[in-house]
């Protein structure tokens, strides 16, 4: 491989990128735009669940119970209603996700020391949010029940009763439980995978469609030199995108980066090389820009978004899908990014993910070189 030939092809591709503002915009602006849109719009936090309350009791005890919901940042009391018809209207209109209905004999049952059934109606059309909201409501009811029980013991026994077990939870790596802290690293991997493969999927196919591939074939440039020269400009742009994404994560989304920055960019370089090679292989095989771009989206976006562990836990997937996820390179890069960002760990723990990511890049690059034939098809 002659380096001056590689540089000549890279210079040609770079000039094409600079002269084509659409390609340059796709390479730099679109990843940043996607990161901003997904970063602010995509969240798994369930806070301020809108609820309506029907307090049939109207007593001090019932108001104290309702205040437990009002004082929690997990719930937002939107209105107080007086009938099931109003409850139904509030949930159907989207004004509330849930309704808390306190029975009329609430205070009497509390005073008698009996269990009080409090009804909670939840909109199950959003199953995930509804499940979390019901969990929050159980915690609120449990805390209030403990307070009532302790007051009763103090009234009867005249002494303070301490809880026999005190749980002191401590959350590691993401103490504020912000979903943004693990969504942003995953987004970087998914967006880089899609954009990198999409950009290089057009390179060789464009040469065939414009008729310039014949000119390149007539030169002494060899196949590996052509592929490497076309990859280099996009690799540089991809690393610039990674830098901008890391800076946005730090200063816009305030995601902590606890790991080694050099290791982060090193792993990003390996991942980009594999993603760019995948796009190049697609371009070589299809020889059509339209087909290459469509195939690149199918092979990168959907698997990276759905099967990489970015949005859905791999352990919860069916066993066949869990096996398929081992073929998704974004799975390993997301694991690397989350480990570096949140845990600050290095290759002593993430060596297998780094090795598999490198193996993917080598395999795809090798296949791309094998598929490229320096001759005009008849």
- Bridge partners of 300, per DSSP, are none
Indicate the pLDDT class of residue 377, thresholds 50, 70 and 90.
low
- What is the sign, positive or negative, of the torsion defined by CA atoms of 93, 94, 98, 101? negative
Name the band, by pLDDT with cuts 50, 70 and 90, for residue 7.
Answer: confident
Greatest alpha-carbon pair distance for the chain in Å reads: 99
Q: Which residue has the tokens 């909670």?
A: 120
Burial state string for 301-339 with b = 16 or more CB within 10 A and e = fewer than 16: bebbbbbbbbeeebeebeeeeeeebeebbbbbbbbbbbb
String of DSSP letters for 109-149: HHHHT-----EEEE-TTSHHHHHHHHHHHHHHHHHHHHHHH
- The secondary structure element, H or E, covering residue 77 is strand 75-80
Helix axes 261-286, 180-200, angle to 10 degrees: 40
Question: Is the pLDDT score of 378 beyond 60?
Answer: no
Return the minimum-mean-pLDDT range out of 161-165, 234-238, 359-363: 161-165
Q: Which of 84-98, 144-158, 190-204 has the lowest mean pLDDT?
A: 144-158
Most confident of 153-167, 197-211, 323-337: 323-337
> Above 60 in pLDDT, residue 361?
yes
Q: 104 pLDDT exceeds 80?
A: yes
Backbone angles phi, psi at 102, to 5 degrees: -95, 125
What integer pLDDT is reported at residue 376 of this predicted model? 54
Q: Which residue has the higher pLDDT, 263 or 9?
A: 263
Query: Is residue 86 scored above 90 in pLDDT?
Result: yes
Instruction: Please check the confidence at residue 360 and state whether its pLDDT lies above 90.
Output: yes
Domain boundary assignment for the chain: 3-43+178-371, 49-157
pTM of the model: 0.80
Which residues have CB under 8 Å from 318's CB, separation 6+? none
The per-residue pLDDT for 19 is 81
At residue 161, the pLDDT reads: 55
The share of the chain scoring above pLDDT 90, in percent, equals 37
Average pLDDT, the chain: 86
Q: What is the mean pLDDT of residues 31-56?
A: 86
Residue 152: pLDDT band by 50, 70, 90 thresholds? confident
CATH number of 49-157: 3.40.1710.10
Q: pLDDT per residue over 291-320, tens digit each? A: 888 888 888 888 888 899 888 888 888 999
Residue 41 has pLDDT above 60, yes or no: yes
Residue 74: how many CB atoms within 10 A of its CB? 17
pLDDT digits (tens, 9 = 90+) for 52-85: 999 999 999 999 999 999 988 889 999 999 999 9
Q: Band of the pLDDT at 374, cuts 50, 70, 90?
A: low
The residue behind tokens 């009234």 is 155
Stretch 199-222: mean pLDDT:
77
**68 neighbors 143 (Cβ within 8 angstroms):** yes
The crossing angle, in degrees rounded to 10, of helices 347-371 and 223-251 is: 140
pLDDT at 175 over 90: no
The crossing angle, in degrees rounded to 10, of helices 261-286 and 223-251 is: 140
């Amino acid at each position: 491989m002659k380096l001056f030939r590689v540089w000549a092809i890279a210079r040609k591709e770079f000039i094409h990128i600079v002269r084509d503002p659409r390609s340059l915009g796709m390479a730099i602006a679109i990843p940043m735009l996607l990161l901003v849109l997904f970063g602010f719009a995509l969240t798994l936090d369930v806070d301020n669940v809108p609820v309506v309350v029907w307090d049939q009791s109207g007593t001090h005890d019932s108001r104290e119970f309702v205040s437990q919901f009002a004082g929690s940042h997990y719930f937002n009391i939107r209105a107080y209603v007086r009938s099931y018809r109003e409850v139904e209207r509030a949930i159907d209109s989207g004004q509330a996700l849930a309704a808390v209905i306190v029975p009329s004999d609430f205070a009497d049952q509390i005073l008698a020391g009996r269990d009080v059934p409090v009804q909670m109606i939840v909109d199950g059309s959003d199953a995930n949010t509804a499940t979390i909201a019901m969990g929050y409501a159980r915690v609120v009811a449990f805390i209030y029940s403990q307070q009532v029980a302790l007051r009763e013991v103090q009234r009867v026994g005249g002494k303070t009763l301490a809880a026999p077990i005190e749980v002191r939870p401590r959350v590691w790596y993401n103490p504020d439980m912000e979903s943004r802290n693990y969504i942003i690293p995953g987004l970087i991997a998914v967006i880089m995978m899609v954009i990198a493969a999409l950009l290089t999927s057009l390179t060789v196919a464009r040469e065939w469609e414009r008729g310039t591939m014949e000119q390149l074939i007539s030169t002494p440039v060899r196949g590996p030199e052509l592929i490497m020269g076309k990859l280099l400009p996009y690799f540089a742009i991809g690393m610039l995108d990674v830098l901008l994404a890391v800076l946005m994560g730090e200063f816009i989304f305030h995601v902590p980066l606890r790991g080694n920055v050099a290791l982060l960019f090193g792993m990003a370089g390996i991942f980009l090389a594999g993603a760019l090679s995948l796009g190049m292989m697609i371009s070589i095989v299809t020889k059509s820009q339209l087909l290459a771009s469509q195939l690149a989206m199918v092979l990168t976006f959907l698997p990276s978004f759905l099967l990489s562990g970015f949005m859905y836990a791999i352990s919860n997937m069916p066993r066949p899908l869990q096996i398929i996820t081992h073929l998704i390179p974004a799975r390993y890069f997301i694991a690397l990014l989350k480990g570096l960002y949140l845990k600050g760990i290095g290759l002593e723990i993430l060596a297998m993910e780094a090795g598999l990511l490198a193996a993917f890049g080598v395999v795809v690059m090798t296949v791309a070189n094998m598929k490229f034939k320096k001759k005009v098809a008849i």
